[in-house]
Amino acid sequence: MHTLRSLTRLSAAVRATTLLIAAGAIGGFWLLPGAASAACTAPGPSNDFGSATTTLTVPSAATYNIWTRMKAGGSTANSFNMDVDGGACYQVGGANTSSTAWTWVNYQGGNTANKVQQSLGQGAHTIKMYGTQAGVEVDRIIAVSDLSCVPTGTDGTNCNNPGDTTSPTVALTAPAANVTVSGATDISANATDNTQVAKVEFYVNSTLVNTDTTAPYTYKWDTSLLPNGSYTILAKAYDAAGNTASDTRPVMVKNNDTQAPTTPTALTATASSFDKVNLAWSASTDNIAVKGYIVTRNGSPIASLGAVTSYTDSSVSPKTTYSYQVAAVDVAGNQSAPTTAIKVTTGGGPTDSQAPTAPGNLETQAVSPSQVNLKWVASTDNVGVASYQVFRQSGVSTVEQIATVSGKTTTFGDTTLKAHTTYTYSVKAVDAAGNVSPRSNLDTITTHSTQKTSELIGYIRDTNGKGIPYASVSFPIDGVNHTYKANSQGWYDADGVPGGSYWMTFSAPGYKSLTISRNVNVNARVAQHATLERQ
Buried b (16+ CB within 10 A) or exposed e, 254-277: beebeebbebbeebebebeebbeb
Q: Taking Cα atoms as reference points, which of 467, 463, 470 lies closest to residue 443?
A: 470
What is the separation, in whole angstroms, between the first and last Cα of the chain?
Answer: 91
Query: In sequence order, what DSSP letters do the residues of 43-62 get, joined into one string?
Result: --GGG---EEEEEEEESS-E
Residues 338-382 pLDDT 10s: 999 999 999 876 677 899 999 999 999 888 888 999 999 999 998
Phi-psi category of residue 222: left, alpha or beta, with phi > 0 → left and psi -120 to 50 → alpha: beta
**CB 262, CB 268: distance < 8 Å:** no
* Residues whose CB is less than 8 angstroms from the CB of residue 409 and which lie 6 or more positions away in sequence, other chains included: 388
Residue-by-residue pLDDT tens, the chain, 535 positions: 222 222 222 222 232 222 233 334 443 333 333 333 456 765 566 666 778 888 888 878 889 999 999 999 888 889 999 999 988 899 999 888 888 889 999 999 889 999 999 999 888 898 988 888 888 888 889 888 888 889 988 888 788 655 667 889 999 999 999 988 888 899 999 999 987 898 999 999 999 999 999 999 999 998 877 888 889 999 999 987 788 999 999 998 888 777 889 999 999 999 988 889 999 999 999 887 788 999 999 999 999 999 999 999 998 888 889 999 999 998 778 899 999 999 999 987 667 789 999 999 999 988 888 899 999 999 999 888 999 999 999 877 889 999 999 998 999 999 999 888 899 999 999 988 889 999 999 999 888 776 656 888 999 999 999 999 999 999 988 777 888 999 999 999 888 788 788 899 999 999 999 999 888 887 788 899 999 999 9
**pTM of the entire structure?**
0.32
One-letter amino acid identity for 471?
Answer: A
Query: In sequence order, what DSSP letters do the residues of 303-314 get, joined into one string?
Result: EEE-S-SEEEE-
- Starting at the earlier edge strand, list the strands of the sheet with 411-414: 360-368, 371-377, 411-414
One-letter amino acid identity for 496?
Answer: G
Rounded CA separation 179/253 (Å): 9
Residues 28-77 pLDDT 10s: 333 333 333 456 765 566 666 778 888 888 878 889 999 999 999 888 88
Reported as type and span, the H/E element at residue 12 is helix 4-12
Rounded CA separation 492/318 (Å): 44
pLDDT attached to residue 11: 29
Rounded CA separation 459/472 (Å): 10
Q: Taking Cα atoms as reference points, which of 462, 461, 417, 421 lies closest to residue 444?
A: 421
Query: In sequence order, what DSSP letters do the residues of 174-232 get, joined into one string?
Result: ESPTT-EE-SEEEEEEEEE-SS-EEEEEEEETTEEEEEE-SSSEEEEEE-TTSPSEEEE
pLDDT attached to residue 41: 63
Q: Taking Cα atoms as reference points, which of 457, 449, 440, 459 lies closest to residue 498?
A: 449
pLDDT attached to residue 403: 93
Helices assigned H by DSSP within 444-517 = none
**CB 82, CB 64: distance < 8 Å:** no
Q: Taking Cα atoms as reference points, which of 303, 323, 301, 320 lies closest to residue 311?
A: 303
**CB 338, CB 325: distance < 8 Å:** yes
